[in-house]
Amino acid sequence: MFDMRYHIASLVAVFLALTVGLLLGSLIVDKGILANQQEGMLKSIQVDIEKINEQNNLLRQKLDQLERFQSQVLPIAVKDRLLDKQVVIATFSPEQNKLQDEIERGMELGGAETFSLRIDTEKLDFSNEELVTQLGATFNETEAVGGSFERRFWDRFASEIAGVESPVLTDELVGSGLVSFDTSAIPVKNIVIVAATKKQARNRDMLFLEAIAQEEEIRVVGVEQTTTKPSRVSAYKLRKVSTVDNVDEVAGIISLSYLLSNPEVNAHYGVKSTAGKFMP
């Protein structure tokens, strides 16, 4: 009997609660309280949006002013820094061509003569035995295969563009469309290696950089964009190569010009945690 009374009381309490809720809900709607709250919230949101738009417009104006300022400062900052210097900019995939062109324009503002070295790593397939045989025959390397051949390949290629060896391999690469390069730039004295961004090319830029860094007569600088992920700077630093991690910005072009005009300096410039300073 006690259980039944308890059950009935629970049901009555539930129905009372529902009734009270319905009454209060209708009262709020009838008096427009909820509608007023919604209207107030919308007005508040509109005010916030207007403030954000105003701030965005102000930031856009400041950014436009900064970009105009930088475009005027760049020619002055790099003027005559690279007179009588030849600079080669090396990339590893067609996606980097636009950035390569921008770097070349920056170096030319400093008075440099620029050359592009475009290595198509997608076509340069060292698992292709026929290709390995074809390339190896140019410099009498017929025994090595796979990774062993690839290291000897990069060492030989570096020696050729440094002018140490006859450019027989380089001529074959250019003739086969694996590399785009004006061989009149040989011997190369200054080379900018743009960090590979495609996963399959990342070990290639490192092998090339290591081979080039062994050539004492060549000034090597490793560069990347602010958006390059993962960053290659740490790996380049381990090879004692100077770096610029924001070469897609005016400040990065100025830093690169400084490094190329001061070959005795080993430094790391940019905006990432691996940089020693923002600019020289």
pLDDT tens track for 184-194: 999 999 999 99
What secondary structure letter does DSSP report for 164? Answer: S
CA distances from 253 to 65, 145, 158 (A): 19, 39, 25
Kindly report which listed range (61-75, 77-91, 159-173, 202-216) carries the lowest average pLDDT score: 61-75
Q: For residue 9, what pLDDT band results from cuts at 50, 70 and 90? A: low
Q: Which residue has the higher pLDDT, 204 or 221?
A: 221
d(CA 260, CA 270): 15
Q: Which residue has the higher pLDDT, 267 or 54?
A: 267
Q: In the predicted model, is pLDDT for residue 16 greater than 80? A: no
Is residue 118 within 8 Å of 93, Cβ to Cβ?
no
Where in the sequence of the chain do the CATH 3.40.50.280 domains occur? 84-269
For residue 162, count other CB atoms closer than 10 A to its CB: 20
d(CA 135, CA 208): 16
Q: What is the pTM of this model?
A: 0.77
Q: What is the mean pLDDT of the chain?
A: 85
163-183 per-residue burial string, b: 16 or more CB within 10 A, e: under 16: bebebebbebbeeeebbebee
Q: In the predicted model, is pLDDT for residue 235 greater than 80? A: yes
- Give the torsion through C-alpha atoms of 237, 241, 245, 246, to 10 deg: 160
Q: Please state, for a pLDDT cut of 70, what percent of the chain lies above it.
A: 82
Q: For residue 229, what pLDDT band results from cuts at 50, 70 and 90? A: confident
Instruction: Provide the pLDDT for residue 1.
Output: 40
The alpha carbon of residue 269 and the mean position of all alpha carbons in its chain are separated, in whole angstroms, by: 14
Instruction: Provide the pLDDT for residue 2.
Output: 44
Instruction: Provide the pLDDT for residue 118.
Output: 96
Q: In the predicted model, is pLDDT for residue 6 greater than 60? A: no
Q: In the predicted model, is pLDDT for residue 26 greater than 80? A: no
Q: In the predicted model, is pLDDT for residue 87 greater than 50? A: yes
Q: Which residue has the higher pLDDT, 27 or 128?
A: 128
**DSSP string computed for 82-141:** TTT-EEEEEESSGGGHHHHHHHHHHHHHTT-EEEEEEE-TTT--TT-HHHHHHHHGGGT-
| pLDDT tens, residue by residue, 140-165 | 987 776 678 888 999 999 999 999 99
Q: Is 51 in a helix, a strand, or coil?
A: helix
CA distances from 245 to 261, 263, 274, 279 (A): 18, 18, 9, 11
Q: In the predicted model, is pLDDT for residue 77 greater than 90? A: no
- Say if domain 84-269 classifies as CATH 3.40.50.1100: no
**Which of 188, 114, 174, 182 minimizes the C-alpha distance to 138?**
174
Q: For residue 204, what pLDDT band results from cuts at 50, 70 and 90? A: confident
Q: Which amino acid is present at 244?
A: V
Instruction: Provide the pLDDT for residue 17.
Output: 59
